[in-house]
């Protein structure tokens, strides 16, 4: 089955994301997973190779239409690896391999994965029960996504202690739930929120966290360095985690990370596993890495200076891995140097480039 154009549901998903009907990494990931699940269930495919071609082609379309939303490509890569794993498992059962020996084989594959990539596997062979196995596996992934936020929040009391001063930037939903859990468990916290101009989404986070048991301080971005000397921890969210452990985070995150490094303040990044992407920063000019927002909040259009000025309002910052202390994901805490290992568990090396 040759697929050369986007399926109707793929077109609808792209439209909904572009018009902001679906926003946020979690919602986009959930919708992408539901869409691929319906393709597996309803599309006409005879074997694993044909299904992988359909998934890869539609994933390429999503990636080309939504280059900044890496979670759609991440879900495509993860699904391709699941198809490979389920096919190998079913083939092993056909050859009468016991579960214990299959588990040993899987561990052996993790250790020698690079050398075994050269051994061709015929995914064009018919495989009975593959569709049912894939649907069951995707339901497990759905459960993992639904519980990812709760799993991250459950670690809040291990990283935040009473009377500490926490600094964050803008408004991340993961950070919001994480701090709310900390406020319930710890006493006398002080939370400093950089407003993240020009959108100033930090005010939304401040309103959400406001309660009698915590002191909330909203500061302009220009005061980040001045306030950092009294901060115990920096906790921020991120749009995606790159292959080297660097971040594509909200604009201003690099400023926060540099100030934290100057004062030796630990930087903790909340990043569910679906945000890990096997991609690197394209260029320091950030042509393909970044996107630009409305510059009206930086310099009003009707001002006299706007007539002879060219204004850029970038949405993202690149934060290098040496400025990050710890990642907290739904599977636990990880150092930036461990990201490469997590990528090998999530994606197959052949699928890094869809």
**Domains of the chain, each with CATH number or no CATH:** 8-95+124-144 (1.20.120), 160-351 (3.40.50.10470)
Confidence of residue 288 (pLDDT cuts 50, 70, 90): low
Give the C-alpha separation, 246 to 243, whole Å. Answer: 7
Comparison of pLDDT for 3 and 209, the residue scoring more: 209
pLDDT of amino acid 69: 84
Tell me the percentage of the chain whose pLDDT exceeds 70.
87
What angle in degrees, to the nearest 10, is found between the helix axes of 202-209 and 173-185?
A: 30
Residue pair 78/347 in contact by the 8 Å Cβ criterion: yes
Q: Look over the chain and give the mean of its residue pLDDT values, rounded to a whole number.
A: 83
pLDDT of amino acid 2: 45
Query: How far, in whole angstroms, is CA 181 from its chain's centroid?
Result: 21
CB proximity list for 154: less than 8 A, separation 6 or greater? 181
Give the sign of the dihedral formed by CA 219, CA 221, CA 225, CA 226. Answer: negative
pLDDT of amino acid 282: 64
User: For the segment 242-286, what is each residue's pLDDT rounded down to a tens digit?
Assistant: 988 889 888 889 999 999 999 999 999 999 998 998 888 765 555
Comparison of pLDDT for 194 and 46, the residue scoring more: 194
pLDDT of amino acid 54: 87
Mean local confidence (pLDDT), 161-190: 88
pLDDT at 114 over 80: no
pLDDT of amino acid 206: 86
User: pTM for the full model?
Assistant: 0.82
Lowest mean per-residue pLDDT among 94-108, 147-161, 338-352: 94-108
pLDDT at 315 over 60: yes
Mean local confidence (pLDDT), 62-71: 85
pLDDT at 104 over 80: no
Give the C-alpha separation, 339 to 341, whole Å. Answer: 5
Q: Where are the beta strands (DSSP E) in the chain?
A: 165-169, 189-194, 214-219, 233-237, 240-241, 247-250, 267-270, 316-319, 326-329, 332-334
Confidence of residue 1 (pLDDT cuts 50, 70, 90): very low
pLDDT at 330 over 80: yes
Mean local confidence (pLDDT), 63-87: 87
pLDDT at 57 over 50: yes
């Amino acid at each position: 089955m040759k697929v050369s154009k986007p399926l109707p549901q793929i077109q609808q998903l792209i439209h909904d994301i572009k018009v902001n009907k679906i926003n946020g990494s979690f919602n986009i990931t959930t919708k992408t997973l539901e869409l691929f699940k319906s393709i597996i269930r309803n599309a006409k495919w005879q074997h694993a190779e044909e299904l992988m071609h359909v998934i890869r082609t539609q994933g390429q379309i999503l990636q080309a239409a939504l280059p900044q939303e890496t979670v759609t490509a991440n879900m495509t890569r993860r699904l391709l690896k699941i198809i490979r794993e389920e096919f190998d498992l079913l083939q092993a059962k056909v050859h009468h391999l016991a579960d214990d020996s299959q588990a040993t084989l899987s561990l052996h594959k993790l250790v020698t994965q690079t050398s075994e990539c050269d051994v061709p596997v015929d995914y064009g062979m018919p495989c009975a029960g593959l569709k049912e196995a894939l649907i069951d596996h995707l339901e497990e992934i759905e459960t993992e996504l639904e519980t990812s936020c709760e799993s991250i929040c459950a670690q809040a009391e291990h990283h935040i202690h009473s009377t500490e001063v926490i600094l964050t930037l803008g408004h991340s939903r993961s950070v919001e739930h994480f701090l709310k859990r900390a406020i319930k468990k710890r006493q006398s916290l002080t939370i400093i929120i950089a407003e993240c101009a020009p959108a100033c989404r930090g005010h939304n986070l401040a309103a959400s966290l406001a309660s009698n048991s915590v002191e909330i301080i909203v500061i302009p971005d220009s005061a980040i360095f001045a306030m950092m000397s009294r901060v115990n921890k920096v906790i921020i969210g991120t749009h995606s985690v790159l292959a080297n452990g660097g971040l594509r985070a909200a604009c201003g995150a690099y400023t926060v990370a540099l100030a934290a490094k100057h004062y030796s303040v630990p930087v903790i990044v909340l990043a569910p596993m679906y945000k890990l992407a096997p991609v690197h920063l394209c260029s320091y000019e950030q042509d393909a890495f970044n996107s630009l927002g409305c510059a009206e909040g930086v310099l009003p259009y009707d001002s006299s200076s706007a007539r002879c000025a060219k204004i850029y309002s970038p949405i993202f910052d690149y934060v290098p891995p040496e400025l990050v202390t710890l990642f907290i994901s739904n599977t636990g805490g990880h150092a930036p140097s461990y990201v490469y290992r997590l990528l090998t568990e999530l994606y197959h090396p052949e699928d890094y480039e869809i």
